[in-house]
Amino acid sequence: MHQSALKHQRDLHVAIIMDGNGRWATARGLPRAAGHERGADAVRRTVEAAPGLGIRTLSLYAFSSDNWRRPRAEVRALLALFAAHLRSETPTLATRGARLRVIGRRDRLPPSLTAAIAAAEARTAAGCALDLRIAIDYSARDAIVRAAARLAPGETGRAAFARQLGQAYGVDDAPDVDLVVRTGGEQRLSDFLLWECAYAELHFTPRAWPDFGAEDLATAVADFRGRTRRFGDIAAGARS
């Protein structure tokens, strides 16, 4: 088995595109904000279940740079919800040994949210059970452009670029993603971790994010572990 594949069996990086909150609420005659509130419960369930499934890094797509196009009232409510949940969930994350880091731009976020991010990152900095990355005001294309501009003259290679890419959105590295899960029935990456997802396996589910739970995450991971990852090589049994 490929050495990278052996590692991933023990130490997964799972990225989740948390989609379907608004449609979930609309289908129930509720305001879209109610879907986002219920989606926060799904985040809690997923974070709690992840370490037991062999997930070492969990990246959650919370708010893309393109989401600024949504109605102002919805954006304000969503960002306020992020801030409130960061403040309320940080003690639990610290207790569970989860290290929280936010990736993406911060210069366009409201002060209440940037303060909550800074406090949560500081409080959980010693966590080693789970590396939790939440993408807010994030665009993979923009991050790639910034990383390319940061490369020093003569600095080449994938490892050097990955370092610059991580630093371009506020962390120190950009680890490869093993498994992408997208909820809500859509089947696209939507500008999320494009470099890191070069060899990621994809798992799409029609279940809306507010209904996503530990069993759904376990199903996605089991599906991943049942696949053969060759990283451009051929299967060992096919060699002659």
Catalytic residues: 19, 67
Q: Could you tell me the sign of the dihedral formed by the alpha carbons of 224, 142, 118, 210, in that order? A: negative
Nearest alpha carbon to residue 183 among 1, 4, 39: 39
Rounded Cα distance, 197 and 15, in Å: 9
User: Where does the chain show beta strands of DSSP type E?
Assistant: 12-17, 55-64, 98-103, 130-138, 179-182, 201-204
How many alpha carbons fall within 13 Å on the CB side of residue 96? 21
State the DSSP code for 97.
Answer: T
Nearest alpha carbon to residue 60 among 113, 32, 89, 100: 100
Task: Give the rounded distance of the alpha carbon of 127 from its chain centre.
Answer: 17
* Structure token pair of residue 173: 């590295």
